Amino acid sequence: EVQLLESGGGLVQPGGSLRLSCAASGFTFSSYAMSWVRQAPGKGLEWVSAISGSGGGTYYADSVKGRFTISRDNSKNTLYLQVNSLRAEDTAVYYCAKATNSWELLNAFDYWGQGTLVTVSS
């Protein structure tokens, strides 16, 4: 059974940093691109970043480029999102999501974690 479990969220002051993690199980992690998608309270879904299965390709939304860094450790089956220079508008639930098909970035997301809440406030 595929499972994705996010952690690392919390309350942080503007300008602060966090590292979000997503522990994956139930599939061959290194074969699948992964993404982070966020959802501000009461709002819609916003794709944040993606990474290829090997980790060699990374992609970002303009709203986070230069502040967020996606990475993965395939030996630990874990996806990460380093979030720096946080702003109030980064407050959201952050979900990790798995690509539907192996070896392809351009895929829908067939499994999602339960999310981790990041709150940016002084």
Contacts with another protein, residue ranges (CB under 8 A): 35, 37, 44-47, 50, 59-62, 95, 100, 105-110, 112-115
Q: Answer whether 81's CB lies under 8 Å from 69's CB.
A: yes
Q: Which is closer to another protein, CB of 16 or CB of 61?
A: 61
CB of 75 to another protein, least distance (A): 26
CB of 101 to another protein, least distance (A): 9
Give the residue among 110, 121, 118, 117 at the shortest CA–CA distance from 35. Answer: 110
For 66, residues 6+ apart whose C-beta sits below 8 A from its C-beta are none
CB of 87 to another protein, least distance (A): 18
Cα distances (Å, whole numbers) of residue 94 to 1, 36, 51, 54, 81 = 22, 7, 15, 22, 10
